[in-house]
Structure 1
Amino acid sequence: MTQPTPRPTTGPRTILLTGAAGGVGTFLRERLPGYGYRLRPADLRPVEGAPDALVCDLRDPEAVRAAVRGVDAVVHLGGISVEDSFDAVLDANVRGLHHLYEAVRQEGVGRVVFASSNHAVGFVPLPAAGELVGSAIVPRPDTYYGLSKVFGEGLASLYADKYGVETVSIRIGSCFAEPRSVRMLSTWLSPDDCARLVHAALTAPGVGHTVVNGISANTRAWWDLGSARALGYRPQDDAEVFAAAVLAEHGELDPGHPDARLVGGWFTEVEPPRP
């Protein structure tokens, strides 16, 4: 069957934003219109402040295709964002993502920005002082959730090579208004920098499938931002402005704590719910 011609990613763009009711989705709903995007918010539950948002279940392929129809690109934050049972993660993050990519392929959408996670590489040891972890490392997921992000990156690679659907997979660190822990002084992605990175991922030419690390310009960063900067990402924020307050509240990390040893931190010790 002849594939539809992907829509260009230049000029005015209508963006399907899945997971629009969540924390990162809310940050992007507030910021992406400032870059000239028209948003089509979607979520499994109603989106507060967006009465025109779509209620869309990723497990329903027809609903997903209807949500995708007519957009120029997709920013995909939808699905389960914490550890859960294998079946729950399978339905939302694996089957649901496949439904999304099939809809994108069928509707001729040319670009996806996929919210991957640091938990796709959670069992990677933290680097020695002065060294950084790049985005080309072999995945070492720390949970079923992290494993679903490895699947997502693989699915994005397949659809780029086989069908020409371009994707930037962003391994998001910790996207909150402010860092909430000592670990987040390294992994923080500010809401403003999140929007800057997503904008770069939507507009950079010829990305194929590109994996990038998603953090701000943190003084304590242990992630390399080279592949993100190659897209045009220019982070402006640094978690260090919060360091004194965070350290006063939490103290320095014990070197034996997983947050001080592994990329995924305490997620490496999380057990999924059992039947």
Structure 2
Amino acid sequence: MRVLITGGAGIVGTLLRPRLRQAGRTLRVLDLTTPEAGGDDEVLAGSVTDPDAMAAACEGVDAIIHLGGRSREASWEDTVETNINGTHTVLEAARAARVGRIILASSNHAVGFRELGKDLPADSTPRPDTYYGVSKAVIESLGSLYHSRFGMDVVCVRIGSCFERPPGVRGLATWLSPDDAGRLFEACLTYPSPGYRVIWGVSDNTRRVYSLAEAEALGYRSRDDAEKFAAEMTDPAPTGVAAQYVGGPFCTAPLGVPN
């Protein structure tokens, strides 16, 4: 099995790669600059917005984990070009190469203006908080279209925050541990015929507000909890709008301004 990881030199890609390597699987890793080689990984330099680069990257691929794109707020033009047009380019290349399964990295910011509450369903309709959030909502819609039109299995993962440690107090609710990320994406790769799904990408945190039922239906089982880092957090707890909505401080950040 050959799995293409776009944006594989980024934070999430770097955390995932060693956790997804296994016998009988080849990871093909693509990023803007040639990623550092690891294990038996195949490494490529290229942009997700380049149709020729993506066509070459998709040759002989069985599944794609699409992480490539802007991971924070940016101008409308840059967000559309990289995240929306780039994802369309990836999906088109996958369709032409008959890739059967694509896992799309979405975000909690696709529903950033949903009010916080226990077990928010993973397939809640979009309420984006930024241009970045809009792009993730569009990515999910593109995934739905390519599943319905072409029969591709598409799993959209609304990632909370995937780092070695939770990024502050808000991260105690949103954290996806690196090991849980490996377990989650492994489930997305191996579950038989998932069709089109939207799931949350979070650990089973004590302060979790997101439903894990949809991810668990694919076989995901979280083993980590951000609460073990709670005593180390020194930043103030969110207040006002940031404490009311899923998107936290993104809900009041200036649109189109890198953060």
Question: Which category of TM-score, normalised to the shorter sequence, fits these structures?
Answer: over 0.9
Q: Which residue of 2 aligns with 1:6?
A: none
Deviation, 1:267, is 1.1
1:57 alignment partner in structure 2: 47
**Within the alignment, does 1:27 sit opposite 2:12 as a pair?**
no
The whole-number CA distance in structure 1 between the counterparts of 2:160 and 2:87 is 20
Partner of 1:7: none
Per-residue deviation, 1:250: 2.2
Corresponding residue of 2:250: 267
**Aligned with residue 207 of structure 2, among 208, 220, 226:** 220
SS of equivalent to 1:189: coil
Distance 1:86 1:267 in 2: 15
1:15 match:
3
- The 8 Å contact of residues 135 and 213 in structure 1, kept in 2 or not, is answered as yes
> Which letter does structure 2 place at the counterpart of 1:132?
D
TM-score if structure 2 supplies the norm length? Answer: 0.94
* 8 A Cα contact 2:120 2:210, kept in partner: yes
Task: Map 1:168-179 onto structure 2 (within 5 A).
Answer: 168-179=155-166
Residue ranges of structure 1 left out of the alignment (5+ in a row): 1-12
Q: Does 1:81 align with 2:71?
A: yes
Q: How far 1:35 sits from its partner (Å)?
A: 7.2
Question: CA-to-partner distance for each residue in 1:103-128, whole Å, 9 max, x for gaps?
Answer: 1111111000110000100111111x
For structure 2, the 5+ residue unaligned runs are none
Is 1:43 equivalent to 2:31 in the alignment? Answer: yes
- Equivalent in 183, 194, 211 of residue 170 of structure 2: 183
Distance 2:146 2:116 in 1: 31
SS of 2:106's equivalent in the other structure is: strand
Specify the alignment match of 1:157 in structure 2.
144
What are the Cα deviations for residues 193-240 of structure 1, in whole angstroms up to 9, with x where unaligned?
001000101111221110001100101100010000000000110001
Deviations 1:12-37 (A, max 9, x none): x1100110110000001121104753
Per-residue deviation, residues 80-119 of structure 1 (Å, max 9, x unmatched)? 1111011111111111111111111111110001100001
Q: In the alignment, residue 180 of structure 2 is paired with which amino acid?
A: D
Deviations 1:110-169 (A, max 9, x none): 000110000100111111xxx321112110011111111111100100111110111110
Q: Distance in 2 between matches of 1:71 and 1:79?
A: 20
Return the alpha-carbon distance in structure 2 between the equivalents of residues 87 and 56 of structure 1. Answer: 20
Q: Does 1:203 align with 2:190?
A: yes
Are residue 236 (structure 1) and residue 223 (structure 2) matched?
yes
Q: Residue in 2 aligned with 1:142?
A: 129
TM-score (norm 1): 0.89
The 1:35–1:245 alpha-carbon spacing in structure 2 relative to 1, beyond 3 Å, is farther
Residue 5 of structure 1 is matched in structure 2 by: none
Please say if residues 238 and 248 of structure 2, whose CA atoms lie closer than 8 Å, have aligned partners that are also in contact.
no
Runs of 4+ in 1 over 2 A off after TM superposition: 34-37, 48-52
CA RMSD between the two structures: 1.5
Q: Contact (CA 8 Å) 1:123, 1:263: kept in 2 or not?
A: yes
Q: Is the 8 A contact 1:35 1:199 kept in 2?
A: no
Could you tell me how far apart the structure 2 residues matched to 1:80 and 1:108 are? 26
Q: Which has the higher Rg, Structure 1 or Structure 2? A: 1
CA separation in 1, counterparts of 2:98 and 2:84?
21
Partners of 1:83 and 1:270 within 8 A in 2? no
Aligned to 1:94: 84
